[in-house]
Structure 1
Amino acid sequence: MLVAVVVGMTAALLAWRERQEPGAVPLTAMLAGQVWWSVFFIFEYHAPTLAEKVFYSDVQWVGVVVIPVAWLLFALEYTGRDRYVRPRYIALLSLVPAVTVVLAATNDYHDLLYLDTRLVTEGGRVVLDRVGGPWYWVITGYTYLLGLLGSIPLLGLVRSDAVPFRGQSLGLLVGTLAPWASNVLFLVGAVPVPNLDPTPVFFAVSGVAYLGAITRFRLLGTSPSANHRARRLVFERMREGAVVVDRHDYVVDMNEQAAEILDIDPRDVLGDPATEVIPRYEHLPEEGRASRHLTLGEGIQTRQYDATVTAVDDFHGRSLGGVISFHDVSDHLRRQQRLEVLNRVLRHNIRTETNLIYGNADLIDAEGDHVDAIKAGAMRIEEISDKARDVIDIFERGRQSGRSLTLSGVLEECVATLREEYPSVTVDLEIESAVDSVDASGAAVSPVLTSVVKNVVENAAEHNDAADPWVRIRATCAEETVEISVADNGPGISDHERTALERGNETPLDHGSGLGLWLIAWGAEMADGDLEIDDREGGGTVVTVRVPRLAPVEE
């Protein structure tokens, strides 16, 4: 017993020295509880009278009830499940132990903890014989329940790849099982000295095991407490969206990115069928690992994802469910789209115009009336080159974060350029506020919007074949958004131009005539905006661009 006390005190002091480490404080409390129980067990064993033995026996309950509560709290902190180690949970766990201590102190007035108490002679020694009452079995069951709950997370570390964690968990389990096994033998009457609980004696084994875990396996120096939380953080903070489904295809978990991608609140869909949560879920593979292309969203805000399904199996190879991860490939596909369009322009349009120049040049000597066609072709090449430069300018502006321009500055510059290049076209500009508190002219917008609006109004003027051509620009500024609408009375935009734009790519047999519409669409996208192209009643086109307002422009 003296060995148990000394070893237990040593381990408790070492644990208290590392009290800043996860699990150190509850481990100290558990070891202190064991020492308390051992010390007063010695006093009880040597006490000469019934009253003294009863007193020391009742005092032992303070240490007895501390041990299982501290053990569970230690296991939770040590394995990283510290979110349950909170004052309210500790208070709930301590309720039954607190009642037990009160009942032990007032045992003379009831029979809840003990039904009978007397002295008996066993092995030549006078020992205390107490018959447990109803609450005695309540606290006994409660103690073993907490012990089991605390052992479960530690059992998982026995299979850990890290040798220190395996040694730590084995030392802890041995230190806990030794006194509990002796207590079970006492309860069933299988001990050498009946009526004498040998549990405190086995605290010597427990103390040595804990001491070895602390010193040999660095119990409080190398802790797995970060593992549990880190794995959860990796799942929650990973850049890819992830949805976990069970083997019956019900959603059981998802991270923040998946909730944002699917535009749902996890609390509303957990437990729902995956077919109601994930679009086209039935087209994803049922098992194994594979990827499928998935498109989410509408209009210009559409995003493309590679949906990857990873099967989750148990150790016996039985399916538990799967993880569906969403990797955003929108930027990759859009870059590919832009390269396809630029490639088509360079290979098809410029080649066509160049062939035309060469063909007409061959006829100059013969007929002499093809010079104008040569000039027109050259001008078209120059126009395509200018558009390509505008596209590059948009890409450059899109990479420049933190800059902004005033709405009025952007529109007035575009109008001035339009009036200079197309003096025959009537241009009207109107800037208004959707609410009185908003300064529409001073609203800040993305610099990319300059190229977008410039190309919209130039397209409206250049292709306008009306007798009295006009272009009307109306900008409406709200608290968070800016909407710019450009209307004209021209011939409108052809169906094959819109088809290529709506589909998102071009084919050799179906492509647009140039870069103008692509430039507008890409620019609106880079400004985090939305683009709409509609036919105007009475003829012509209405192009509407909606973009978010940015922070005010710094003077």
Structure 2
Amino acid sequence: MEWSIDGDDDRLGGKVYRQAFRSTGAPALIADPNFVIRDVNDSGLEFLGYRPGELVGRSAAEISGEDDIYADIVDHLSRGETWSGRFVARTSEGDKVYGRGSAAPILVDGDVEGVVAIFVDTTKQQQYENASEVLNRLLRHDLRNELNVMYGHIQRAQSAASKEEATESLQKAQKLVLEIVRKSERARDLRDLLERSYAATNRPVRLDIVLNNAMVEVMREFSDATFRFEVFPEVVVSADDLLSTAVEAVLENAVTHNDADDPVVTVDVDVREDEVVLSVSDNGPGVPEPQRDLIFGREEYDQLHHGTGISLFFADSVFDSYGGDIWVEDNDPRGATFKIRLERV
């Protein structure tokens, strides 16, 4: 049987069927009985990050993000049954995307001659749920600890034998109050990011202008720290209004978690063909290898390891929404270097 969407058979081919398949807004694909992909519509190509024709002739298993779900889909379709539910796919870059959908066998005279699958992209919803869960965990952990420490300083101030001791404890409590306020502002920014994530679209943003404004803010706030940077190159990246806040969060982290007597933060920009890598280096204690995912909230805490709070989690979420990334490396001779990759427009 000729079942290809580009064939002339009225059951599956023809201009009407072909146009209906192409114009469908939801990602869709057609495969043969052996689950070899025969066609993917434009939405499906965009969803998975492939160019036209790249997936044709390849097994549908290659785009599956979870073996158990794929096996369940194959099992249903092989028996001539329709499958529906949650699925995980893998893009051309190897990233996981999430969705819900339905896959149905194409039956001709009782025989399975192919399969058609249509999906709804729920990646943003999955990111929202993941971010909400981590945000709640971070807030519970950070606020509880800092409020307990602040309460201890206030108690010590009340029972201090001298005015100097009381003043020192109250100053520490004051710093903790300011830190809690900063984290609450980050939580608000992250809430705004999550709430608008469904309809958010990135746009061209001048990175050098964002960096100049961010440097002014952090130098005003952390006047005791030294910031080293040269004239930033004029370059445009894919981002939105939250880029400045996310960059400030990384710069603030380089100072607030710096144990050096004279904190120094160095900022560099490496412009490449398709991307820009922003480096923020400090002379602090550095980040041990086992904790490099913990500090971004990507893994659960335990009793011995704790992240640095909501700021880095917020920054990680923002850069991820731009199709970028953030990671940490060792700085030479001491400290950490945070690398931020952004896509050039």
Same-fold call, TM cutoff 0.5 = yes
**1:461 maps to which of 237, 255, 267:** 255
Call closer, same or farther: CA 1:360–1:381 in 2, change over 3 Å: closer
Q: Deviations over 1:364-407 (max 9, x none)?
A: 55555577446534532431331331453466589586876543
Which whole-Å CA distance do the structure 2 matches of 1:363 and 1:501 have between them? Answer: 31
The answer to whether the Cα contact below 8 Å between 1:364 and 1:370 also exists between their aligned partners in 2 is yes
Q: Deviations over 1:489-517 (max 9, x none)?
A: 21123556533367746467675241121
Q: How does 1:374-385 map to 2 (within 5 A)?
A: 375-385=171-181
Q: Which residue of 1 aligns with 2:46?
A: 260
The answer to whether the Cα contact below 8 Å between 2:150 and 2:173 also exists between their aligned partners in 1 is yes
Q: Deviations over 1:414-436 (max 9, x none)?
A: 2233333333433211246xxxx
The answer to whether the Cα contact below 8 Å between 1:451 and 1:523 also exists between their aligned partners in 2 is no
Which whole-Å CA distance do the structure 2 matches of 1:476 and 1:463 have between them? Answer: 25
Q: Which residue of 2 aligns with 1:273?
A: 59
Query: Percent same amino acid at aligned positions?
Result: 24
Q: Which residue of 1 aligns with 2:124?
A: 331
Which whole-Å CA distance do the structure 1 matches of 2:63 and 2:203 have between them? Answer: 38
Letter matched to residue 176 of structure 2: R
The answer to whether the Cα contact below 8 Å between 2:31 and 2:38 also exists between their aligned partners in 1 is yes
Letter matched to residue 123 of structure 2: S
Call closer, same or farther: CA 1:345–1:282 in 2, change over 3 Å: closer
Letter matched to residue 181 of structure 2: S
Q: Which has the higher contact order (CA 8 A, sep 6+)?
A: 2
Q: CA deviation at 1:310?
A: 2.0
Q: CA deviation at 1:360?
A: 5.2
Structure number with the higher helix fraction is 1
Call closer, same or farther: CA 1:352–1:422 in 2, change over 3 Å: closer
Structure number with the higher strand fraction is 2
Which whole-Å CA distance do the structure 2 matches of 1:364 and 1:431 have between them? Answer: 46
Q: Which residue of 1 aligns with 2:143?
A: 350
Which whole-Å CA distance do the structure 2 matches of 1:248 and 1:424 have between them? Answer: 66
Q: Which residue of 1 aligns with 2:317?
A: 522
**1:474 maps to which of 268, 271, 288:** 268
Which whole-Å CA distance do the structure 2 matches of 1:291 and 1:265 have between them? Answer: 26
**1:305 maps to which of 78, 83, 98:** 98
User: Is the counterpart of residue 541 in structure 1 residue 336 in structure 2?
Assistant: yes
The answer to whether the Cα contact below 8 Å between 1:247 and 1:322 also exists between their aligned partners in 2 is yes
Which whole-Å CA distance do the structure 1 matches of 2:285 and 2:328 have between them? Answer: 14
User: Is the counterpart of residue 240 in structure 1 residue 26 in structure 2?
Assistant: yes
Report the secondary structure of 2:292's partner residue. helix
Unmatched 5+ stretches in structure 1: 1-80, 85-148, 157-226, 433-439, 551-555
Which has the higher Rg, Structure 1 or Structure 2? Answer: 1
Letter matched to residue 332 of structure 1: Q
Q: CA deviation at 1:519?
A: 1.8
User: Is the counterpart of residue 428 in structure 1 residue 228 in structure 2?
Assistant: yes
Call closer, same or farther: CA 1:347–1:458 in 2, change over 3 Å: closer
The answer to whether the Cα contact below 8 Å between 2:102 and 2:119 also exists between their aligned partners in 1 is no
Call closer, same or farther: CA 1:317–1:405 in 2, change over 3 Å: closer
**1:492 maps to which of 254, 273, 286:** 286
Letter matched to residue 250 of structure 2: V
Q: Which moves more between the two structures, 359-368 or 457-466?
A: 359-368
Which whole-Å CA distance do the structure 1 matches of 2:175 and 2:156 have between them? Answer: 19
Which whole-Å CA distance do the structure 1 matches of 2:92 and 2:58 have between them? Answer: 24
Call closer, same or farther: CA 1:328–1:407 in 2, change over 3 Å: same
The answer to whether the Cα contact below 8 Å between 2:281 and 2:338 also exists between their aligned partners in 1 is yes
- Number of aligned residue pairs: give it: 323
Which whole-Å CA distance do the structure 1 matches of 2:102 and 2:235 have between them? Answer: 49
The answer to whether the Cα contact below 8 Å between 1:403 and 1:447 also exists between their aligned partners in 2 is no
The answer to whether the Cα contact below 8 Å between 1:240 and 1:326 also exists between their aligned partners in 2 is yes
Call closer, same or farther: CA 1:350–1:502 in 2, change over 3 Å: closer
Which whole-Å CA distance do the structure 2 matches of 1:487 and 1:302 have between them? Answer: 28
Q: How does 1:65-144 map to 2 (within 5 A)?
A: none
Q: Which residue of 2 aligns with 1:410?
A: 210
The answer to whether the Cα contact below 8 Å between 1:476 and 1:483 also exists between their aligned partners in 2 is yes
Unmatched 5+ stretches in structure 2: none
The answer to whether the Cα contact below 8 Å between 1:443 and 1:477 also exists between their aligned partners in 2 is no
Report the secondary structure of 2:267's partner residue. strand
Call closer, same or farther: CA 1:473–1:383 in 2, change over 3 Å: same
Q: Deviations over 1:199-251 (max 9, x none)?
A: xxxxxxxxxxxxxxxxxxxxxxxxxxxx9655433422333322222222222
Letter matched to residue 456 of structure 1: V
